[in-house]
Amino acid sequence: MIPLQVTLVEVGPRDGLQNEAQPVSAAHKIELVHRLQAAGLREIEVTSFVSPKWVPQMADNTQVMAGLQREAGVRYSVLTPNLKGFEAAVADAAHRPDEIVVFASATEAFSQRNINCGIEESIERFRPVVAAAHALGIKVRSAISCALGCPYQGEVTPDEVERVVKLMKAIGVDHCGVADTIGVGTPKRAQAALERALKHYPVDRVSGHFHDTYGQALANIYACLELGIHTFDASVAGLGGCPYAKGATGNVGTEDVLFMLNGLGIDTGIDLNRLIDAAAFISGVLGRKPVSRTGNALLAKRMQAVT
């Protein structure tokens, strides 16, 4: 039986916007987060504390975190690749994240391109980050990139995914996210990778992160629902891509996932209409239509209603 309730982790402000070439102001990023929380999102990945030379779009991380009007019950997370990033993320005690995300690749080649070191070395960088986060009562989530395919290596096996799952578990990471960074996964392969995470983490600590490059993300999410997995990342308006994964399009659109979950009678606590407001807002800022099918369909309907 598939789950009755699902948690959607909104990653648009980070995974979505990190790849934008045009500048997006901190004020617009903050407004986006406010609209997402107003729509009922309870987990929001806000920004990343990575090198501004590598990802300039996230250089305003401190300003964005400080500008949030937080809502009770919402978990705000940020990406931290190393202790330097973690220390910057927690420096201002009044605006600390509730959760941090450490990210490693299932393949050596992508690890080198994304964070300039091998897998084992990246885990060693995370070890003190995990300890420091736990000392402050901050949860740690992992993202295992390229779990279903790698732009440099090609095919990725479940064994390669499980290797990183075990390394993350060994350093005390609380939650295991499995990511199809380039969106090449198909349902059976998604199940095979996520099953490896389930061997080491309970189902409420495992999530799927699917990019929609080949239009497989909803099918992959459904396949994971069949395993009982009930936490998925998604990106409003289908924003994004990864700067180190050429050709990778955005994460699956949050409104596309929500439309499917609503149709399945699965509770998320998210209001589709208000989510569309958030999608319309950020699409207006970027000056283009959403990538998500549901976003476009419902915005077209709204236009019809006013003409």
Q: Which range touches ligand HMG (CB under 6 A), out of 63-71, 82-90, 155-163, 164-172?
A: 82-90
| Residues between 224 and 243 that touch ligand HMG (CB under 6 A) | 242-243
Query: Which of 75, 80, 92, 28 shows the shortest CA–CA distance to 55?
Result: 80
**Interface mask (CB under 6 A) for ligand HMG, residues 1-20, using x and -?**
--------------x--x--
Q: Which of residues 145, 220, 249, 294 is near ligand HMG by CB under 6 A?
A: 145
Closer CB to Mg ion, 15 or 212, in the complex: 15
Locate the DSSP E strands across 25-84. Answer: 43-48, 75-79
What span, in angstroms and rounded, lies between the C-alpha atoms of 1 and 11? Answer: 27
Locate the DSSP E strands across 25-124. Answer: 43-48, 75-79, 99-105
Is residue 278 a contact point for ligand HMG (CB under 6 A)? no
Closer CB to Mg ion, 97 or 299, in the complex: 97
Q: Among Mg ion, ligand HMG, none, what does residue 186 contact (CB within 5–8 Å per kind)?
A: none
Q: How big is the CA angle at 296 (ends 224 and 255), to the nearest 5 degrees?
A: 30
242 is catalytic: yes
Closest residue (Cβ) to Mg ion?
A: 15
Burial of 214 (0-12, 13-18, 19+ CB in 10 A): middle
CB of 195 to ligand HMG, least distance (A): 18
Query: How many other C-beta atoms can be found within 10 angstroms of the C-beta atom of residue 95?
Result: 17
Rg (CA), the chain: 18
**Interface mask (CB under 5 A) for Mg ion, residues 33-72, using x and -?**
----------------------------------------
| Residues between 180 and 199 that touch ligand HMG (CB under 6 A) | 181
Known catalytic residues are 242
